[in-house]
Amino acid sequence: MRSSYLDYAMSVIVGRALPDVRDGLKPVHRRVLYAMHEAGLQPNRPYRKSANVVGGVMGNFHPHGDSAIYDTLVRLAQDFAMRNPLVDGQGNFGSIDSDPAAAMRYCITGATRVATTKGTLRIDSIVPGARSDSDNDIELELLDRLGKPVRASKLFHSGSHPTLRLRTEMGHELTGTENHPVLCLVDMAGVPLLF
């Protein structure tokens, strides 16, 4: 029994845990990159949600937990973890200071206001009555963090989730879900710009 277990443990270490000496990739790295290639995710194509990639890898190539696959995808996009990142990630993929990456999906509350080319509006008013777990087609011009117009074509309603509320000493208030960090810039006048 002991030798059988040691043989199995060594095969796992050699086959899965140790990077290949030829390119430094583990099998899960190869599976993520291959799944992205098969899905047509190329540098000249639009970004897709990480959950889409993780689901494809888990369903077709790597029948293990989604967190291991997502952690691999995150690492492949971190310029501080790899000399040459193999994935171009859009969004929060963690920091060198051990800040974790955002969840595979991105959640905000219905009261969140978005900046459009015609002013701000609550996100829950973009598609009134949107059902939970629904993808909704929209045609909306938003402003990015630099004030440049960008086109939005989809709104995903992920359902209701517990939220936390933060209030500063100066009276600013923020509501959000537990697994999403707050990103803000402070301009020269000291006013935080949330995005």
Residues identified as active-site: 106
What is the Cα–Cα distance from 46 to 88, expressed in whole angstroms?
Answer: 11
Paired residues of 150 in beta bridges: 142
- Please, are residues 73 and 54 in contact by the beta-carbon 8 Å criterion? yes
